[in-house]
């Protein structure tokens, strides 16, 4: 929201009047410019010469205008700050998704390498055949009498 929009909405300036930011531009009769009320007394009339005098606004009106301008600037600054924050958060979120994808890819590669290494180890060991050895049990014999 610009200063002109805010002033028009608050009723400080009529919507059909333009707030003049260029001091050399022509000013409508009775319009507020840079803290001065222009042309309400008819001084200078239609000639627009150097004899035109500006009447100072009431100090309360001037303070209210400055407060409104300050409020508008503050709102615009806050809006810019919110936009920067949203852009920063969006950037961080995209970075998080990118890192999560990279992490998942690396875990998958690690698991594949682990499986490959396990398979290689099994092939290197080769088949182990367990032969059944003859049972040499100790038996009690009757070679001696008790």
Report the 10 Å Cβ neighbour count for 32: 19
Domain presence at residue 144: no
Domain presence at residue 67: yes
Those residues whose C-beta lies under 8 Å from the C-beta of residue 27, and which sit 6 or more positions away, are: 20, 33, 38, 39
pTM of the model: 0.43
Domain presence at residue 110: no
Domain presence at residue 133: no
Domain presence at residue 115: no
Domain presence at residue 54: yes
Q: Which residue has the higher pLDDT, 105 or 14?
A: 105
Number of domains in the chain: 1
Q: Which residue has the higher pLDDT, 27 or 5?
A: 5
Q: Are 10 and 3 spatial neighbours (Cβ–Cβ below 8 Å)?
A: no
Q: Residue 52: what pLDDT?
A: 65
Q: Which residue has the higher pLDDT, 33 or 65?
A: 65
Q: Give the lowest-confidence range in 10-24, 64-78, 124-138.
A: 10-24
Q: At residue 29, does pLDDT exceed 70? A: no
**Residue 69 belongs to what domain range?**
3-94
Q: At residue 20, does pLDDT exceed 60? A: no
Domain presence at residue 106: no
Domain presence at residue 18: yes
Q: Stretch 127-136: mean pLDDT, rounded?
A: 64
């Amino acid at each position: 929201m610009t200063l002109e929009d805010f002033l028009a909405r608050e009723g400080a300036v009529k919507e059909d009047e333009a707030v003049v930011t260029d001091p050399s531009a022509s000013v409508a009769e009775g319009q507020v410019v840079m803290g001065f009320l222009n042309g309400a007394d008819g001084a200078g009339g239609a000639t627009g010469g150097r004899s035109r005098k500006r009447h100072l606004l009431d100090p309360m009106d001037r303070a209210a205008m400055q407060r409104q301008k300050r409020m508008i600037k503050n709102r615009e600054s806050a809006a810019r700050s919110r936009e920067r924050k949203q852009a920063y958060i969006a950037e961080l979120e995209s970075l998080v998704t990118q890192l999560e994808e990279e992490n998942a890819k690396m875990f998958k590669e690690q698991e594949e390498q682990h499986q490959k290494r396990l398979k290689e180890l099994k092939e290197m060991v080769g088949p182990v055949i367990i032969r059944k050895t003859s049972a040499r049990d100790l038996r009690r014999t009757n070679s001696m009498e008790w």
